[in-house]
Structure 1
Amino acid sequence: MNRDRFTVVSRETGCHIYEGDGTRPILEENVRVKYRPQRVEFPVEIGDWRHTIEAEELRKAARGLPHRWNNDRFAVERVVVTRTHLEEVSVVSLSLQDADYYDFLTTSLNLGRRQENGRTLREQYLESQDPVHAPAWMNCSFGVNVAVETGKDGKMLFSRRSSHVAGPNSSRWNSSANEGLARMHDLPADARPISLHAVARRALHEELAVHATDALDLELLGFGLDLDNHQWAAFFRAVLPDLDEETLRLRWTRGVADKWEHDRFEFVPADPASVLGFIADQPEDRWSPCAPALFYLALVRGAVRREGGDPAARFLVERAEQEVIAARNL
């Protein structure tokens, strides 16, 4: 089954928006994360690929060479969306089990590699069937992506991933901040459920030095699937009412936990024409697959809130997009 791809400023991206259109948030209490502490199991051949990756990374580490270190993360068993009976608001159930970073590398780096049966992983599990229902061992990554707006000066923040970051999105424009779910950080020790909102707040702190004492307006807008790299994502909009570009840049000079993850930041006026113009003006191949969709949903949510909650305000964003397209002959 082919899933539709998000299109903006006449560009088709590699992102499928699975849930959400930006007009209203998905409430925190309506996101139900279920965790099953059982490790994913690869088919024998794919398991051999993983052993090779692990051995190579351990060899490089032993020689003092740059290497990818392993960490515990989650595999996505399934994502299920339902609606409440009366108000028909979204309820999302996310089922997870155990995986690690080497598991993720095993599939993400080998989607085009041919198996003994002659088929690639992409052909067998993502193109000949619905990628949403791919087996859990194909889904060893779930990212929380945040679009940040500064309240004091009304700007949207774009972050470019460093070339030193492993993976397909290095040196590409991405969300303002993003974190992959990690068992060490995001699995509560007291058996409380995993909170995607807490992961979003962690991303803001570790990558942008937004602290718990800072005012924060945080909303979950939807879920997406990166069809190019097969990675699940949650989309958040975060407004920082008391912060501006100058304050954030000053903080970054004083140290950020994960400062190495980005090598460039751009603050753009948060109105639809400016944000969509920035997306259009950057080379198409310099964007991660799902970043344009995230920022578009954030624009829609901002427009709806400015119009008192009227969902028809999404068409103000569409109108701005058409103006950007016409001005650039796209």
Structure 2
Amino acid sequence: MTLRDRFTVVGRPTDCHVFEGDGTRPISEENMRVRYVPERVRFPEDVGRWRREIEEEQARKEAAGEPHLWNNPRFAVERLAIARTDIAEDPVATLTLRDADYYDFLTTSVNLERAREDGQTLREQYIDGRDPLGAPAFMFCSFGVNVAVETGRDHKMLFSHRSSRVAGPNSSKWNSSANEGLARDHDLSADGRVNLHAVARRALREELAVQGSDAVDLELLGFGLDVRNNQWAAFFRAVLTDLTEEDLRARWSRGVEDKWEHDGHAFVPADPASVLRFLLDEPAERWTPCAPALFYLALVRAAVRARDGSPEGRFEVEAIERRVVREREDGA
């Protein structure tokens, strides 16, 4: 993965590779297909030893009454294939998943720079300068659903700041409005189905108290890969048709299922200039790798819809981005 392949916004390269989607054409729910293979990922022998080290360390901490990491069942990404319909050329995505768990994810994510027996690190072998889809499934034991939320009545974009109490490399950073990692306990139905749109709705409910009775215009914009932490992500845009910032804050004051995941929120006018200025105002290191890409695609989608589906909306956002960067450079 070269620097050229990493998403760049307001003049900043990020650690996000946008694999599919430019904001102009969403992937419909019926065209998002998930194939589940009920088989565990398999590690090479030397990497498998790293996993056993993690398992033993967490078992020791639990036995000693120390804080430890819960090994929840997850999915590994085996394949992500994109096609187009015959006539309209609408995008069709097929995501193939197999069984994994949180310790499987830690095995690779915390050891990306660790040399294997042949002397190569996992990053050298599978990420840098490589096609991410060429890596084996054990490298991708985490898949996140990320949602950019806009309030429909007062037109605000919502940014969420992850709490320092959240485990992992993205704590204490600005992130998507709501996000959830795919989990077998929550997202695998009895008949072996996984629905990404349903996961996005779960994220809205658990983190933002957006209920099933609320009118939500939900679209899947595409997919990205966090090349810093080696995690796949789905990008969604959600417009809360009948809600305002005041409505959401009032709900949060009455309790949210996963309130502890965020320690702050920012509501920003949803026009491109205001959102891009907010992205630029916050230092690059205070953002999770893929959040800037998600919000940019959401801006493009809003502009395209405002033009009745014309892809020219994308170029409007690009022009505003250039202006915002110039303004900042002139004022520096």
Tell me which interval the TM-score lies in, with the shorter structure as reference length. Answer: over 0.9
1:104 corresponds to 2:105 = yes
Cα distance in 1 for residues equivalent to 2:117 and 2:7: 34
Q: TM-score, normalised by structure 2?
A: 0.97
Q: Deviations over 1:249-304 (max 9, x none)?
A: 12112211111111110000000000000000000111111000000000001011
Once the two structures are overlaid, the 10-residue window that deviates more, 112-121 or 11-20, is 112-121
Aligned residue pairs: how many?
329
Secondary structure class of the residue paired with 1:171 = coil
- Deviation of 1:195 after TM superposition, in Å, equals 0.6
What aligned pairs does 1:46-61 form with structure 2 within 5 A after superposition?
46-61=47-62
Q: Are the counterparts in 1 of residues 149 and 237 from structure 2 also a CA contact under 8 Å?
A: yes
Cα distance in 2 for residues equivalent to 1:65 and 1:320: 51
Q: Are the counterparts in 1 of residues 17 and 226 from structure 2 also a CA contact under 8 Å?
A: yes
Secondary structure class of the residue paired with 1:235 = strand
Once the two structures are overlaid, the 10-residue window that deviates more, 75-84 or 52-61, is 52-61
Structure 2 gaps of 5+ residues are none
Q: Are the counterparts in 2 of residues 78 and 133 from structure 1 also a CA contact under 8 Å?
A: no
Structure 1 gaps of 5+ residues are none
Match for residue 238 of structure 2?
A: 238
Once the two structures are overlaid, the 10-residue window that deviates more, 53-62 or 164-173, is 53-62
Once the two structures are overlaid, the 10-residue window that deviates more, 111-120 or 268-277, is 111-120
1:29 corresponds to 2:30 = yes
Cα distance in 1 for residues equivalent to 2:132 and 2:310: 34
Q: Are the counterparts in 1 of residues 25 and 91 from structure 2 also a CA contact under 8 Å?
A: no
- Deviation of 1:322 after TM superposition, in Å, equals 1.1
Q: TM-score, normalised by structure 1?
A: 0.97
Once the two structures are overlaid, the 10-residue window that deviates more, 140-149 or 62-71, is 62-71
Identical amino acids, percent of aligned pairs:
68
Match for residue 7 of structure 2?
A: 6
Letter in 2 for 1:202: R
Match for residue 181 of structure 1?
A: 182
Cα distance in 2 for residues equivalent to 1:304 and 1:282: 26
1:207 corresponds to 2:207 = yes
Once the two structures are overlaid, the 10-residue window that deviates more, 44-53 or 271-280, is 44-53
What aligned pairs does 1:79-228 form with structure 2 within 5 A after superposition?
79-127=80-128, 129-191=130-192, 193-228=193-228
Cα distance in 2 for residues equivalent to 1:155 and 1:74: 33
Cα distance in 2 for residues equivalent to 1:239 and 1:78: 30
What aligned pairs does 1:304-319 form with structure 2 within 5 A after superposition?
304-319=304-319
Cα distance in 2 for residues equivalent to 1:254 and 1:139: 37
Q: Are the counterparts in 2 of residues 26 and 219 from structure 1 also a CA contact under 8 Å?
A: yes
Q: Return closer, same or farther for 1:326/1:87 CA change in 2, 3 Å cut-off.
A: same
Match for residue 288 of structure 1?
A: 288
Superposed CA RMSD: 1.2
Q: Are the counterparts in 2 of residues 145 and 175 from structure 1 also a CA contact under 8 Å?
A: yes
Q: Are the counterparts in 2 of residues 218 and 236 from structure 1 also a CA contact under 8 Å?
A: yes
- Deviation of 1:129 after TM superposition, in Å, equals 3.0
Cα distance in 1 for residues equivalent to 2:187 and 2:318: 36
- Deviation of 1:128 after TM superposition, in Å, equals 5.3
Q: Return closer, same or farther for 1:239/1:58 CA change in 2, 3 Å cut-off.
A: same
Once the two structures are overlaid, the 10-residue window that deviates more, 286-295 or 243-252, is 243-252
Q: Deviations over 1:182-240 (max 9, x none)?
A: 0011001134x311000000000111111111110000001111111111110000000
Letter in 2 for 1:33: V
Q: Are the counterparts in 2 of residues 159 and 262 from structure 1 also a CA contact under 8 Å?
A: yes
Cα distance in 1 for residues equivalent to 2:68 and 2:308: 50
Once the two structures are overlaid, the 10-residue window that deviates more, 179-188 or 241-250, is 241-250
Match for residue 321 of structure 1?
A: 321
Q: Are the counterparts in 1 of residues 147 and 235 from structure 2 also a CA contact under 8 Å?
A: yes
Secondary structure class of the residue paired with 1:127 = coil
- Deviation of 1:58 after TM superposition, in Å, equals 1.9
Q: Are the counterparts in 1 of residues 71 and 101 from structure 2 also a CA contact under 8 Å?
A: yes
